[in-house]
Every structure is written in structure tokens, then in C-alpha cells.
A = this chain, B = another copy of it.
Amino acid sequence: MNKSAEKIRIVDIARLAGVSAGTVDRVLHNRGSVSEDSRIKIENALKTMNYRPNVYASVLALKKKFQFACIIPIYNKGDYWEKVEEGVRQAADEFAPLNVSIRFFYFNQFDVYSCRLTFEKVIQATPDAVIFPSFFKEESKIFAEGMQEKNIPFVLLDSMLPEPPPLAYYGQDSFQSGFIAAKLLMLSLKEDATIALFHTFRIGNLGSNQTLERKKGFLDFIRSRFPKCKTVTVELNAMNPQQNREAMQDLLQKYPEISGAVIFNSLTYMVAEDIEKLNRSDIQIIGYDLLEKNVEYLKKGVVNYLIAQRPEQQGYQGVKALCDFLVFKQPVKQINYMPIDILTRENIDYYSSF
């Protein structure tokens, strides 16, 4: 049953193979050179004794130092990206004894040039690994290609970029999460309801990939299962709440029959606030991400559902993947979709994304 115990040390397998511990070490780490003869003897010994290195001893003895770069959009307190950074920081903290340190680089997510500039800075810093969200597709691709050339592993967060292949990706299946959003919302709406779709306007980036994919998924569900539904698309300006409020008033005047709203990014609270102020509690709302303000409106009952994607996990796992790969030399799973967590006022208090 539980026979796994049996501590086996490198010297044990060295003895069994009739060679020195140093040679075993070379085989294990593929370093230096070893004669074919010894290699075979050692590999056999490894098989028969199923040796597993002691992580703690290994880490302790490790001399190499690693510097990771983490690129993150500039954020305000409480934002989505703050949580990602939190996860990265926790990992940095936990893995500090591995001689891993993380340097953060920030860019303005509404400005391609800022992004480009930051990429440049990262390249100058010559990190051992990079972790970043592929915000601007083209720029990210070029940057990733540079990393690939230099053999610097990189982890993608939030949205995927197939080429060049990252060491790992952590993020949500956006299409599917939009699909679910539609399903949830329609549970509370009539089959011929009118739904307002909100997304954010971005300079130089017509909504992030994520947002667009969510919308696609949402519409896919609506069109295939509730063809009688009408949808109205509205663009929010993240920088100008006042303008949004006016747009909202216009919208509800023009389409008073609107009974559902979906916000494809984390600005749910803005929409919720406006709808609440306009006394339209009949409108069912679903949005994304557990910002404090969003949760507030969820608990109040203004927002029906929030869909979460464990941003802290994304950050944490990203760093962990790099450590696994670089420090422990273990294989890493490439595509890692985060769970699509459904939160309501009833289960929000028990939710923890860690």
C-alpha cells in the first residue's frame, strides 16, 4: 500500500552502479560528459531503485541565481492586474530560497508605445525568464520571437499567443466563459429579451482579445439557443465614468425594454452603479472578475453573477512553472485553462481563488 518510503540517496545508486556520486550527478543533470558504459549502469540502477531527489537538499545546494521579469499593465488599487501581481509576488516570496528574484516592469495598457518601450527595457535587463500577458498581439509576438531566439523561456498570462510557443500559458477559455455567461443570464430572462453588451474601448486595441472572445462565446450561445433575443452593443470608456453614465441613459431611453446586461470586462461595477441609480433593478446583470466593487454589487443583489478566472493563481502558477522548468528541470504543462468560476451572492463568501 504505502511502500513509497525508503529513502534513496545519490550515493546509494552510485554504490549500486559501481561509480562515484559525481558521475551519477552528471547523468542526472546531463552535465559534463559520461562514458556510455557508466551511463547505462547508472540508468539501470536508477530504474531498479526508483530514485527521487530530495527537493530540499537540492534547493539548498543550488548555486545558480535566477532573475525573472514580470511585465504587467499599470493598474489602480483593486484592479484585476493587482491580483495577478499579488500571485506573482507570493510565488516570488515562496521561491526566494531558490535564488529566484522577480523584477516587475509596467506599461500603459492603453498605449502600444508604452508597451513597446517596456519590452525594450526587459530585453536590456536580460532576464532568465519572462512572464507577461500578450496584450497587444503584434508587439507581443515580436517580443516573444526575440525571447525564443535568445532561448529565454516565457510564460503567457490571460490571453494566449500560439506562435512562438510559450513555455506555458495560464488563462481562461474566453469563448467558453462568454458562452456560460449567456447561459446563466438567460436563466433569468425571457426568450425574446433585449440584452445590452458592454465592452471597453481601448486606444490602439479594439478591446482585448479576451473581451472579444467572450463576446463571441456569448453571442454564439444566444444565436443558437435564443434566436429571438436582441442584443445592443455599448462601448465603455474606462477613463470617463461621466460619459458612460450619459451613454447609459441614452441607451435605456432608446431601448427601455432592455432586461439583461453583460459586461465583458472587470468594469462591471460602473454599469451596475448606473443601472442602480436609474432604478432599473429589473435588469439582470452578469459581469467578470472579483474586483472589490464588483463583489459589493453582487452581494447587494444588483449584479446576479460574476465570472472569475483566478488571477492570483495565474500569476502564481506562472512563476511556479518557470521554477519547475529552470530550477527543478521538470516538464511543464503548456496550456493551462483556469476554471470558469461562477459566483453568486450565495457562494461568494466561501470563494477563495488560492
Contacts and interface: CB of A to CB of B under 8 A. Distances in A.
A56 B347 contact: no
A4 B92 CA distance: 10
A219 to B, nearest CB: 15
A128 B1 CA distance: 20
A93 B187 contact: no
Given A339-B351, A346-B176, A350-B340, A2 B188 contact: no
A173 interface: yes
A61 to B, nearest CB: 9
A102 B3 CA distance: 10
A344 B2 contact: no
In the complex, the count of this chain's copies comes to 2
Interface in A291-341: 337-341
Decide if the interface of chain A is mainly helix, strand, loop or mixed. mixed
A54 interface: yes
A97 B346 contact: no
A352 interface: yes
A54 B57 CA distance: 12
Interface in A157-187: 172-173, 176-177, 179-180, 183, 187
Given A103-B2, A104-B1, A56 B97 contact: yes
B2 A104 contact: yes
- A96, A104, A340, A346: which has the most chain B beta carbons within 10 Å? A346
Closest 3 A/B residue pairs (Cβ): A340-B347, A187-B187, A56-B59
21 contacts: A2-B92, A2-B103, A2-B104, A4-B93, A5-B101, A55-B97, A56-B59, A56-B97, A57-B60, A60-B60, A176-B346, A176-B350, A180-B346, A183-B344, A183-B346, A187-B187, A187-B188, A339-B347, A339-B351, A339-B352, A340-B350
Interface of A: 1-2, 4-5, 54-57, 59-60, 92-93, 96-97, 101-104, 172-173, 176-177, 179-180, 183, 187-188, 337-342, 344, 346-347, 349-352
